[in-house]
Amino acid sequence: MTHEFIDLPTVAHVEGAVRLPGSKSISNRILLLSALSQGDVAIVDLLASDDTAVMLAALRALGVQWTEEKTASGTIHHVKGVAGVLPNKSADLFMGNAGTAIRPLTAALAVIGGDYTLHGVPRMHERPIGDLVDALNAAGTDVEYTGNPGFPPLHIKQGKIHARRLSVRGDVSSQFLTALLMVAPLMAREHAIAIDVVGELISKPYIEITLNLIRRFGVKVEQNGWESFTIEPGQVYQSPGTIHVEGDASSASYFLAAGAIAGGPVRVEGVGKDSIQGDVRFAAALEQMGVRITMGDNWIEARSNGVLKAIDADFNHIPDAAMTIAVAALYADGTSTLRNIASWRVKETDRIAAMATELRKVGAIVEEGPDYIKVTPPAVITPATIDTYDDHRMAMCFSLVSLDGAARKGNVMRINDPKCVGKTFPEYFAAFAAIAK
């Protein structure tokens, strides 16, 4: 899309089926694991988006060979694994605003060593990475900040790993622990490596994705609850041959919420009850709000069951999908409270502040705290122009405010900078229009 805004007409009813794009979290993890493994990997249904393009470009700059094959049923990416030895010992890598790319890649490059610089868009230089760098440098890597301490851009040089135990904070971003887990086999050449989590670990389902994929690539991780993880020495990532990327469960949330708000049924295809993604638990949150949910192995369906019930719940485990609940709360029968969402503040934008600002534009009464948001719906939703803060999830969430046309036929919601959805779902607005009746 080249427009600077998109106008969404009011829609009274939605129904249909949506084939989801691949999961961003799974796609970028699989790309790095494939690159580090022994053997060639065929990746089916890799997400095509800004964040995966950043990772693919970085791998190519590091000398990892990959090709893309178009087939009748989709795309297959063929990656030639380098068995933990990167062909290019120096590179200047632009990481955009892709947290799922810069954090694991920083860890991998720091452990492998070389002469690498990593930088991104201005917002990336405001997103914390200090806890990860501290853990790595304490283990013997040589990573330095070339801007503000604690944040990218970074310069990585050759270090020498000496530690047998690492510790990392778990309460800012689960991506720090994900990064260390993914590179632990590279550190555990001669002796076991243990990783201790300091404080409460947030977003545990994302760590479950990481562990699941590490095991798919042939490495065993011993787990002591959520407090520590141990990788025995001498393990090497092995190609699983062919690996499929699940549909993106976070992206599913917008369509399921649409079905909940405006009739349905709406079915998403590509995730289901067998998913390795924690964000499928979003469906349970909708059920708490009174929505009828049905689920198969590879699909989930939502349909309205009357006015949504207000919700008061802890969303620490599904922070990205929880944003969709904040907008669905506009259609509830009272005040909804989303708790334990401090990680929103260090995402693509400060999502608590952004959500509060934009929800107020459409008439909601909003109270925001350091780690919670309370949303009281208006009697009638007011059409407004929504700012998106270069945050894909803000744009996708607020598309839902065009639903439920009874009270305001003919009114239009305007979404500024809709192309920001390219980060995870370039075709989002076309898919959304397809279910609008």
d(CA 97, CA 115): 22
Neighbouring C-beta atoms of residue 430, cutoff 10 Å: 9
> Which pLDDT value is given to residue 407?
47
In the numeric block, which tokens belong to residue 95? 């990481």
User: What is the Cα gyration radius of the chain?
Assistant: 22
Q: Edge to edge, what strands does the sheet with 299-303 contain? A: 14-19, 263-269, 299-303, 292-295
Whether 214 and 261 share a structural domain: no
Whether 296 and 178 share a structural domain: no
Whether 230 and 283 share a structural domain: no
> Which pLDDT value is given to residue 165?
97
Phi-psi region of 220 (alpha: psi -120 to 50; beta: other; left: phi over 0): beta
139, 145, 149, 152: CA torsion to nearest 10: -100
Whether 271 and 143 share a structural domain: no
Whether 98 and 192 share a structural domain: yes
d(CA 361, CA 405): 18
> Which pLDDT value is given to residue 73?
86
Q: What is the DSSP letter of 147?
A: S
> Which pLDDT value is given to residue 3?
63
Look up tokens 């959520």; give the residue. 226
> Which pLDDT value is given to residue 405?
53
Helices (H), 62-199: 99-112, 130-138, 174-187
Question: Which of 187, 209, 244 lies at the terminal end of a domain, its last residue?
Answer: 244
Provide the angle, in degrees to the nearest 10, between the axes of the packed helices 130-138 and 99-112. 10
Q: Which of 131, 248, 320, 387 is catalytic?
A: 320
Domains: count for the chain: 2
Give the CATH number for residue 264.
3.65.10.10
Single-letter residue type at 125 = H
Helix-then-strand count for the chain, H and E: 12, 23
Single-letter residue type at 43 = I
Question: Which of 219, 244, 269 lies at the terminal end of a domain, its last residue?
Answer: 244
Whether 152 and 268 share a structural domain: no
Whether 387 is catalytic is no
> Which pLDDT value is given to residue 404?
80
pLDDT tens, residue order, the chain (437 aa) = 446 999 999 999 999 999 999 999 999 999 999 999 999 999 999 999 999 999 999 999 999 999 999 999 889 999 999 999 999 999 999 999 999 999 999 999 999 999 999 999 999 999 999 999 999 999 999 999 999 999 999 999 999 999 999 999 999 999 999 999 999 999 999 999 999 999 999 999 999 999 999 999 999 999 999 999 999 999 999 999 999 999 999 999 999 999 999 999 999 999 999 899 989 999 999 999 999 999 999 999 999 999 999 999 999 999 989 999 999 999 999 999 999 999 998 888 999 999 999 999 999 999 999 999 999 999 999 999 999 999 999 999 999 999 985 445 557 899 999 999 999 999 999 999 999 97
Question: Which of 186, 209, 244 lies at the terminal end of a domain, its last residue?
Answer: 244
Whether 238 and 255 share a structural domain: no
Q: How many residues does the chain have?
A: 437
Neighbouring C-beta atoms of residue 310, cutoff 10 Å: 19
Whether 254 and 125 share a structural domain: no
- Condensed to tens digits (0 to 9), the pLDDT of residues 289-333 reads 999 999 999 999 999 999 999 999 999 999 989 999 999 999 999
> Which pLDDT value is given to residue 125?
97
Whether 278 and 197 share a structural domain: no
Whether 30 and 9 share a structural domain: no
- The secondary structure element, H or E, covering residue 55 is helix 50-61
> Which pLDDT value is given to residue 437?
79
Whether 209 and 72 share a structural domain: yes
Residue 344, domain extent:
5-21+247-435
> Which pLDDT value is given to residue 409?
52
Whether 87 and 200 share a structural domain: yes
